[in-house]
Each structure stands twice: as C-alpha cells, then as structure tokens.
Amino acid sequence: MEAIVFGEIGKFEYTQRPEPVIRNADDVKIKILAASICGSDVHILADPPGIAANTGIILGHECVGEVVDMGEGVTGFSAGDHVILDNNLTCGICPFCRSGHSNMCINMRSMGSGIDGVFCEYAVVPEYAVAKIPKDTDIRKAVFAEPMNCVMSAVKKLDVVLGCTAVVLGGGPIGLIFSEFLKKSGAGRVIISEVSESRSSYAGANGADRVINPVKEDLREEIWKETDALGADIVIDAVGCLMKDAISIIRPAGTILLFGLNANARADIAQNDITIKDVTILGNYIAVNALEDVANTLKNDLMDFTDMITHELPLKDFGVGLEAIRKGEAMEVVLYPGRLSSDKSNGGGMNESSSF
C-alpha cells in the first residue's frame, strides 16, 4: 500500500509499505477513506522537531475509515461500518489508566508519532479505540473527528457559564473548533486572536464574535474594551506558546486552558500575576473518554467544519499540502489514500490544489 513515512529529521518519503494484518482477537482493520494533516505533523517534520516521533513510522493520526476485517473477538463492528478512531492507544492497566487518566498512560502508543499512523491505505487498531458513525455521514465532516475528540475532552474541563466571554489564542483549525464548541456550550462571546489574515476570514463563520489581530491591535486593550475592563472569563492557548498573553487578558478568578503543543517554546512568566488574580490554569493533553461523544455529535450533525477545508489531495501529494500549511496558504488539508488523481466519487469532491 502507499504510505507517507517519516525519514530523517525534517524529511518524509512517499513509498510502499505492506498492508497491516489482523494479529489480535480485538483488532479492527480499517480502510482509510480520508486523512488530514494536523499541526502536529508539521511540528514533527520541522527542523528541529517541535514534537518527537520515531523515524521509519507512517505519519498521520486524523482520519475516517471503513471496517474491512476484524479479529475473532470483535463484537461491536461489522465489515462496511464507517468509523472514527482515537489514535492514542492505551494499555488500560497502568495506574493512570485505572484512575481515569488514560491520556497519561505509561505504555501509550501514539499512531503517527510512536507507531504507524494513517497516511496510508489501511490501518489496524484495537476495537476499544474505534467508534461507529452512520455510513451516510459526509467523510469531509468526519475527518475532523480526532481534533474534535481532543477539543471536546478539553471543553469538558471548563466551567463554561452561560453568557461568559472566552478568548481563543490562535485561529487555526483547532482554534476554530474551540470557538464552535464554546458557543454550543453556552459562551456569550467568543473572541479569537489570530495574526493571519487568511485564517481570520474563517473565524466569523465558525462562531467567533470578533477577531483581533495582535500585530495590528493591542490585544489586552481590546479585550479590556470587550469586557468592561474585567478580562476574559476563559482564555485558551491553542498555539502552545502564548501563556504570557493568556495571563495578561484573563480576569481575576478566571480560567486559562493550555492546549497547543510546542516543545521548543519558552515563556518568561511572572508567577505573581497568576497568584494575585487567583487564576486557575489547566493543561490538556490529547483526549479522555470523548470519542463516543464526538460520534454522537457527527450522528446528530451538530457541527460542520468543512468550510475550513482548503486543499483536497491524493496521498501522493502530501508534500504539496504540507508546504501550503507551512506557507500559511492552507487551513485544512485532506488527503485521500488510494487515489492517484482528482476524483469526485467520495461524496465531497476533491481538488488537487484548491486554496483560498
């Protein structure tokens, strides 16, 4: 099968790999219908890497698939089922898994960074990591399931009071998904801070009441105007390096959620600013027990992020999509394994180099 493989630092290879096979009774083999490039993939392929990964593995962790085979112990799925998956495979028996913190699993295997991922034609995962969605769900909607899974898990930690004001730092796909989740959870106003003009144009369509460009405007001053000089109730850093900004605009007794990942980022923080305002700071790493909720969200057609899809490409053109993201010319890049040219048979269409 075709696959995108992580080579040496900063490099990938489009190559052939053997199809994975069923080895365990609870294994589910899925055909990858669509996969999308995440910011994490960009960080993995940076030099130096922002996220560590094992060389030689198949990249990618965001996908929607179709069940094609399963082990003898699988009872919840049948061939032909459409599924979404949690790419972080946990052991279920370590102290963290048993205490309800499986995202801290000591023995975790993460697809697309630690073990083979989904930028390929087929993948095999344990039954517990898969959730069924209706077959008539648009795969272009379902391909957002993995980031939705992480965001939903994060929002569950927040006390989103009806009518509150939330600020999301970063208007990429994750930031816009947060915006929609916050709105649906009852936030009265959601403000996005984003430096990219092209990304800012998508924010209003995804629930944001205002977009602030912190390069052109004073972020703190504008948030003070929006909140009667109190500050935001909730601030989310969706980038991974903006904690200092978050502290500057949070209200006393407010909550900051740190979500974005960037291993190379460092910040000069005045701890007293946190203490004196009695600020709650939450970290969030991947997802915990949210996949079925995401499946229900898709089933009930509650959210649609397809307008963020700017590029739809065959898998072999992964490099085209990666470079578009690096240049800021892409919002969401969707890849279609097993298709070597433009093909509209997937129900959503495919454009080899569509962009905004």
Residue-wise pLDDT tens digits, 164-184: 999 999 999 999 999 999 999
Residue-wise pLDDT tens digits, 247-260: 999 999 999 999 99
Contact 97, 105 (CB under 8 A): yes
Residue 13 tokens, joined: 């290879």
Contact 197, 171 (CB under 8 A): no
Instruction: Specify the pLDDT at position 5.
Output: 98
- Mean pLDDT for the stretch of residues 202-223: 89
Instruction: Specify the pLDDT at position 341.
Output: 61
Instruction: Specify the pLDDT at position 200.
Output: 84
Strands 82-85 and 88-89: unpaired
Residue 224 tokens, joined: 């003070």
Residue-wise pLDDT tens digits, 16-40: 999 999 999 999 999 999 999 999 9
> Please, what is the average pLDDT of the chain?
93
Contact 255, 279 (CB under 8 A): yes
Structural domains of the chain sorted by starting position, each given as residue range(s) with its CATH number in brackets: 2-149+288-336 (3.90.180.10), 158-283 (3.40.50.720)
Matching residue, tokens 């998956």? 85
Instruction: Specify the pLDDT at position 290.
Output: 96
Q: Distance between CA atoms of 160 and 255, rounded to whole angstroms? A: 10
- Mean pLDDT for the stretch of residues 216-241: 97
Residue 241 tokens, joined: 């390096």
3-state SS, residue 8: coil
Q: Distance between CA atoms of 157 and 306, rounded to whole angstroms? A: 26
Q: Distance between CA atoms of 279 and 261, rounded to whole angstroms? A: 21
- Sign of the CA dihedral with 183 first, then 151, 173, and 48 last: positive
